[in-house]
Amino acid sequence: MGGNRIVVYKEPGVVAVEDHDMPKLEVPADVASAMGMSREAPHAVILKCVSTNICGSDQHMVRGRTTAPPGQTLGHEITGEVVEKGSDVQFLQIGDIVTVPFNIACGRCRNCRAGDTGVCLNVNPGRAGSAYGYVDMGGWEGGQADFVMVPFADFNLLRFPDRDAALAKIRDLTMLSDIFPTGYHGAYTAGVTTGSTVYVAGAGPVGLAAAYSAQLLGAAVVIVGDLNAERLAQARSFGCETVDVGQDATLEDQVAQILDTNEVDCAVDAVGFEASGHGGAEERPAQVLNDIMTITRAAGRLGIPGLYVTGDPGASDPDAKEGTLKVRLGLGWAKSHSLTTGQCPVLKYNRGLMMSILHDKAHIADAVNATVIGLEDAPRGYQEFDRGAARKYVLDPHGMVPAA
């Protein structure tokens, strides 16, 4: 049948745009049978993808650093237009423009009722929590595509109040599906508030979003650390201080040059398990976690939106292959640190951040250097992003994203 282009992981370093069948109002067969739900999904909608972004989490899979199999569809950062809806969808209409939280959530389980939508109990037979187009997340088809199915639509989707206003700001609003809430979650759970000094590890899109969010939350100084000069320049473009962790000077010394003290109030890990040692040395997956415990004051808080996995076939040692890292937990314990990890529960934040965008209080697209390309150009976007481009690639399948 065909009719739906979709980005697919083929082998380490290689993605392709393939023609798949159009999505149906059905949940994956494995989810339905394991969770005791019907395959038919009257609670779902089909979206025409207005925009869909390449994420650093996708890049982990494409590098071969997860257990993703060849043929894994990709894409969990989705903004779309409702083009079909099930009979049980009550509050969304054909033609609505909506943002899709990357977390798939049922809205009915204990965790969803508590607001912990990142660890829904009913959408993934393998573990709590699910996402579109991601390994070990329940087999839901990815959204780097022309069309995608979204279940439990009334619960999951956030409708933009005005179609024209939404399309005019879509470069900002497309960030609501993941990196803006995720970066905000990292800063918020780290306790950033008025006058805080903040260290953000990593100047990729999530790190830049966390740094920008820290500014929104009132931080006095935001310091961003990375090895990539282009990405550090992007952080400086909206007022951050930066440190190059590839230098010989220690992180503590570089922070002290900025703050006159070698500690910050709070810190965010936006790097995750593919961290490198200082100076660009060999991979050290616990490097960032140990760094942020070292430079965060006693009784400080650490937000950890950076991805850590339970299966990493490309890791440098047997422990790291199963996500067992050499973290200095004793240091964090001695300093009474509080740590928050895991998927961002996007629904906690996306409405407020949407309002900030619509009323010109937030310009996240500029902060992360949003760069719009066609869906057919996704392989190039993945390659350039993997080489360290200081850009957030936004795929535009249908030519609906206005020029910057």
Give the pLDDT confidence of 35-70 residue by residue, as tens digits: 999 999 999 999 999 999 999 999 999 999 999 999
pLDDT for the residue 312: 86
If pLDDT is split at 50, 70 and 90, which confidence band does 2 have? confident
Least confident segment among 112-121, 181-190, 281-290: 281-290
Is pLDDT above 90 for 403? no
Is pLDDT above 90 for 106? yes
Mean pLDDT to the nearest integer, 327-349? 97
pLDDT for the residue 31: 96
Query: How far apart are the C-alpha atoms of 247 and 119, rounded to whole Å?
Result: 39
Q: Are 86 and 71 in contact (CB under 8 A)?
A: no
If pLDDT is split at 50, 70 and 90, which confidence band does 317 have? confident
Is pLDDT above 70 for 279? no
pLDDT for the residue 404: 58
Helix (H, G, I), strand (E, B) or coil at 350: helix
pLDDT for the residue 92: 98
Is pLDDT above 80 for 20? yes
Q: Domain 3-178+345-395, CATH 3.90.180.10 — does that match?
A: yes
Give the pLDDT confidence of 80-92 residue by residue, as tens digits: 999 999 999 999 9
Strand (E) or helix (H) holding 229: helix 229-236
Give the pLDDT confidence of 378-391 residue by residue, as tens digits: 999 999 999 999 99
pLDDT for the residue 11: 96
Label each residue of the chain as H, E or C: CCEEEEEEEEECCEEEEEEEECCCCECCHHHHHHHCCCCECCCCEEEEEEEEECCHHHHHHHCCCCCCCCCCECCCEEEEEEEEECCCCCCCCCCCEEEECCECCCCCCHHHHCCCHHHCCCCCCCCCCCECCCCCCCCCCCCCECEEEECCHHHHCEECCCHHHHHHCHHHHHHHHCHHHHHHHHHHHCCCCCCCEEEEECCCHHHHHHHHHHHHCCCCEEEEEECCHHHHHHHHCCCCEEEECCCCCCHHHHHHHHHCCCCEEEEEECCCCCCECHHHCCECCCHHHHHHHHHEEEEEEEEECCCCCCCCCCCCCHHHHCCCCCCCHHHHHHCCCEEEECCCCHHHCHHHHHHHHHCCCCCHHHHCCEEEECHHHHHHHHHHHHCCCCCEEEECCCCCCCCC
pLDDT for the residue 102: 98
Is pLDDT above 80 for 281? no
pLDDT for the residue 402: 86
Task: Tell me the domain boundaries of the chain.
Answer: 3-178+345-395, 182-341
Strand (E) or helix (H) holding 162: none
Give the pLDDT confidence of 358-369 residue by residue, as tens digits: 999 999 999 999
Mean pLDDT to the nearest integer, 152-161? 98
Topology of the domain comprising 182-341: Rossmann fold (3.40.50)
Is pLDDT above 90 for 199? yes
pLDDT for the residue 277: 74
pLDDT for the residue 175: 98
Q: Are 182 and 307 in contact (CB under 8 A)?
A: no
Give the pLDDT confidence of 223-260 residue by residue, as tens digits: 999 999 999 999 999 999 999 999 989 999 999 999 99
